Amino acid sequence: MQLARVIGDVVATRKDPGFDSTKLLILQPIGADGKDVGRTLVAVDAVGAGVGEKVFFVRGKEASFPFHPLEMPADAGIVGIVDHWSTVKGKK
């Protein structure tokens, strides 16, 4: 799983029928420090996330698992909304 911030949504009038009734969101991956890392991507939303929220997402085949038994043609999926996280700095 990776962390990301939801920065937008996607509206598509024509799309694969596998995406019917599915929300597509634009994600900006972030590191444990909350700073942007990597390129933005589009992910299917399985948890009801919204713009501005921090989320967990997965890539690859696992992106479609929350929609089973539907066969979702997705390679990124939001699987959790993050309420809070903290990190512990290591000793030098």
**CA atoms of 90 and 72, how far apart (whole Å):** 41
**CA 42 to mean position of chain CA atoms:** 8
Q: What is the pTM of this model?
A: 0.87
pLDDT, tens digit (0-9, with 9 covering 90-100), for 4-19 = 999 999 998 888 887 8
> Can you tell me the distance from the alpha carbon of 45 to that of 35, in angstroms, rounded to the nearest whole number?
22
* Domains in the chain with CATH codes: 2-81 (2.40.50.220)
pLDDT at 64 over 80: yes
pLDDT of residue 70: 78
Q: What percent of the chain has pLDDT over 70?
A: 97
Computed over every residue of the chain, the mean pLDDT equals 90
Residues 61, 12: Cα–Cα separation, whole Å? 22
Are the C-beta atoms of 43 and 24 separated by less than 8 Å? Answer: yes
Q: Report d(CA 21, CA 50) in Å as an integer.
A: 16
